[in-house]
Amino acid sequence: MHWVDKAKLLMSERGISTRGLEKVIGCKKNKLSSLMSQRSVPASDFGIQISKAMQVTAEWLFDESLGIDDLEVEDLHKSYLHVKQALLQAFEALEREEKEKIAAARAAKELDEAAQRVKQRQAGKRSKKKSG
């Protein structure tokens, strides 16, 4: 399994964007996404930074003979906690205005989800009335 596929799988499972991982690593914007889109192998020092940020060994990440089944559940949990903590630290470092924008976007998403649930319930009630 290619390192890019492993990284994307772990990022997807953890809800982490490429940009979020770049912030955790502390690299330039789009450096990681460029490597991933080209499926290039990073320089060894940057590869180690990537694996540390994801809390997996560089050996596991870059050895194509190793798959997701070779990564132990404990490693996945440690990795998740590490990235979560780094994202929280990055959030704390944001300016107040940026935090407010994030909170507003999250609130809007939650409202949209609630509205969808209400619509689904109403549609279910209408179909029961028609059939009843």
Geometric angle at alpha carbon 18, from 14 and 19, rounded to 5° = 115
For domain 3-93, which CATH number applies: 1.20.120, 1.10.10, 1.10.260, 2.130.10?
A: 1.10.260
pTM of the model: 0.54
Neighbours of 9 (CB within 10 A): 14
Q: Which of 33, 16, 36 is nearest to 24 (CA)?
A: 16
User: pLDDT tens digits, residue range 54-99?
Assistant: 888 888 899 999 887 777 655 666 767 777 888 888 888 888 888 8
